[in-house]
């Protein structure tokens, strides 16, 4: 409490201490939760609830993280002063954490550059490469609950602006721990001598993103709705649309401006039930043909289309459906570029990549066009490193469509690519739903589903994974298990991970893994059928079997 510069968290902690000293058991338990451990720094950086204590996101923890990261960068760079770019979104305290970080970086002798205002995460990822920086930090908790915030880290140089992977995470964590063990963060040197990034950086991102898919002829007829989900996407999206030549959307006014309270949604994630209800209402009122949504830091993309069979007349496409459409687009472009002798931006054979829990349909697309294919662990820190990548995605609404400039998921460039596909289809008298059918006609009917179990005690997740390993299922429903890959024991092409992949006799696939960012156990179900109807039937049977398997081990 003595080293915390934030009056709010100091007061919060003082009240807890007073209550605990008076014998309040709940306050004592709360203090124990806040101080018995620290938020762990890993390949996803830091993420947690705002509040006082080392197991929360606050100014003390952020100062420790910034000082530890500065020490890591200094050790890595040797005698040259590293350059680090800092960005932030519209969440509560994001701007404060960003300025604290910039001051600590500058005080440590780094060349610190602060983005000019709250901006999307993809702008920060772009800027790291654009400026040739050694590292970047984005203060964001993406689509997490309103009371969360986080600290996402990128590395330049041979990491090419991608998020950190092992062993960098452990090395940074060790430096942070040393800072924390040393005690008072108020003695850390600070400086306001950091630079403010010029507006030209944002303009460069806008130009590069608009170039992903300039508006084709007939695009002016496109009727669509956009929501920023109370995040920071709208300003940048608007500028990109103008530069690319697309018509302005009808915005969801109640969600278009940054608001860290996220007042109109229970959970600011377009995947969550109800999150896009206002967008659907706006689409019905404006007679739109397409809905596009970004999450609060605009690194994810959601798309919805009219569907008479769906409740309310609109259906949100799954992340796999969007990924397969965008992958198909990228594969066609790569095949054409190969004919011109320019297969990929990395010199390696052009490839498509997706996380191992994403649809196997992308591999079918790659094979159809003679491209390489890479399956990776979840997260764009892995996907972005696929050799020769021209497109990558993960089913959780993340898409990398412009690897030459952004080595991370980017919901804005993905939106532009999707608008281009929708406009081109419209010029042929077709819709996005028609494009999905064209995909099935070309590559087969792939169907996917997900079971997500949210828990209060993450120990329950570890128990379920241990039970599945101790007594591996021989069947899922009525279908026999042909093979189980346990990534903890080592599987070719993957670093070790807490993932079980079950292959069934009928060609179906079931993957079980803990979430990397939330207290959830996730099961991913994938099937392929001769038709959409047969694939849905097979998927329903697989889901029923997976639920029975879970019930048996819980």
d(CA 149, CA 139): 7
Chain centre distance of CA 542:
27
- Of the residues 36, 79, 101, 142, only one is catalytic, namely 142
Helices vs. strands in the chain: H and E counts, helices first: 16, 22
d(CA 448, CA 450): 7
d(CA 224, CA 19): 53
Residue 384 annotated as catalytic: no
Computed on alpha carbons and rounded to an integer, the radius of gyration of the chain in Å comes to: 24
Q: Look up residue 309 and give its two tokens.
A: 């069979």
What distances in angstroms separate CA 165 from CA 1, 101, 281, one per listed residue? Answer: 33, 21, 41
Q: Look up residue 378 and give its two tokens.
A: 């979840």
How would you label 521-545 residue by residue, b for 16+ Cβ within 10 Å and e otherwise?
Answer: bbbbbbbbbeeeeebeebbebbbeb
223 by Cβ neighbours in 10 Å (0-12 / 13-18 / 19+) ranks as middle
Cβ neighbours for 481, distance < 8 A, ≥ 6 positions apart: 472, 473, 474, 475, 502, 503, 504, 505
d(CA 335, CA 332): 5
Does residue 167 have a cis peptide bond before it, meaning omega lies within 30 degrees of 0? yes
What distances in angstroms separate CA 327 from CA 64, 205, 401, one per listed residue? Answer: 41, 22, 8
d(CA 304, CA 314): 7
Q: Which residues are catalytic?
A: 142
């Amino acid at each position: 409490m003595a080293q915390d510069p934030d009056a709010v968290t100091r007061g919060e902690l003082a009240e807890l201490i007073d209550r605990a000293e008076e014998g309040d058991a709940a306050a004592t338990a709360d203090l124990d939760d806040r101080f018995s451990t620290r938020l762990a720094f890993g390949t996803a950086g830091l993420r947690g609830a705002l509040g006082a204590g080392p197991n929360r996101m606050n100014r003390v923890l952020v100062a420790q993280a910034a000082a530890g990261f500065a020490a890591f960068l200094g050790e890595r760079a040797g005698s040259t002063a590293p350059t680090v770019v800092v960005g932030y979104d519209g969440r509560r305290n994001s701007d404060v954490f960003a300025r604290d970080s910039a001051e600590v970086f500058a005080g440590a002798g780094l060349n610190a550059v602060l983005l000019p205002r709250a901006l999307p995460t993809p702008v920060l990822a772009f800027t790291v490469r654009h400026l040739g920086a050694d590292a970047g930090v984005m203060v964001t908790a993406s689509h997490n609950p309103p009371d969360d915030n986080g600290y996402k880290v990128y590395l330049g140089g041979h990491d090419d602006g991608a998020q950190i992977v092992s062993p960098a995470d452990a090395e940074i964590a060790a430096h942070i721990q040393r800072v924390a063990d040393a005690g008072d963060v108020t003695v850390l040197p600070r400086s306001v001598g950091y630079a403010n990034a010029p507006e030209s950086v944002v303009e460069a991102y806008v130009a590069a993103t608009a170039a992903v898919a300039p508006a084709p002829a007939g695009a002016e007829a496109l009727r669509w709705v956009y929501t920023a989900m109370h995040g920071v996407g709208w300003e940048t999206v608007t500028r990109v649309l103008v530069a690319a030549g697309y018509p302005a959307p009808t915005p969801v006014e109640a969600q278009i401006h940054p608001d860290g309270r996220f007042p109109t949604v229970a959970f600011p994630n377009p995947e969550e039930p109800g999150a896009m209800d206002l967008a659907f209402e706006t689409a019905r009122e404006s007679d739109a043909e397409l809905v596009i949504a970004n999450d609060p830091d605009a690194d994810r993309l959601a798309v919805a289309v009219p569907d008479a069979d769906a409740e309310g007349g609109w259906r949100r496409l799954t992340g796999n459906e969007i990924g397969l459409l965008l992958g198909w687009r990228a594969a066609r472009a790569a095949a054409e570029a190969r004919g011109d002798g320019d297969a990929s931006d990395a010199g390696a054979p052009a490839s498509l990549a997706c996380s191992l829990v994403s649809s196997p349909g992308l591999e079918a697309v790659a094979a159809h066009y003679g491209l390489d294919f890479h399956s990776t662990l979840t997260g764009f820190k892995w996907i972005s490193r696929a050799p020769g990548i021209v497109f990558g995605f993960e089913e959780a609404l993340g898409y990398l469509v412009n690897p030459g400039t952004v080595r991370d998921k980017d919901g804005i460039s993905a939106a532009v690519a999707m608008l281009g596909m929708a406009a081109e289809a419209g010029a042929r008298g077709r819709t996005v739903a028609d494009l999905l059918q064209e995909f099935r006609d070309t590559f087969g009917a792939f169907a996917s589903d997900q079971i997500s179990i949210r828990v209060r005690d993450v120990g329950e997740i570890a128990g379920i994974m241990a039970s599945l390993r101790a007594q591996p299922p021989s069947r899922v429903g009525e279908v026999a298990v042909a093979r189980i890959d346990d990534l903890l024991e080592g599987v070719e092409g993957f670093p070790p991970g807490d993932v079980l992949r079950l292959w069934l006799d009928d060609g179906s696939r079931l993957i079980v893994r803990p979430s990397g960012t939330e207290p959830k156990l996730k099961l991913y179900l994938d099937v392929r059928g001769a038709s959409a109807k047969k694939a849905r039937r097979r998927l329903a049977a697989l889901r029923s079997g997976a639920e029975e398997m879970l019930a048996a081990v819980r």
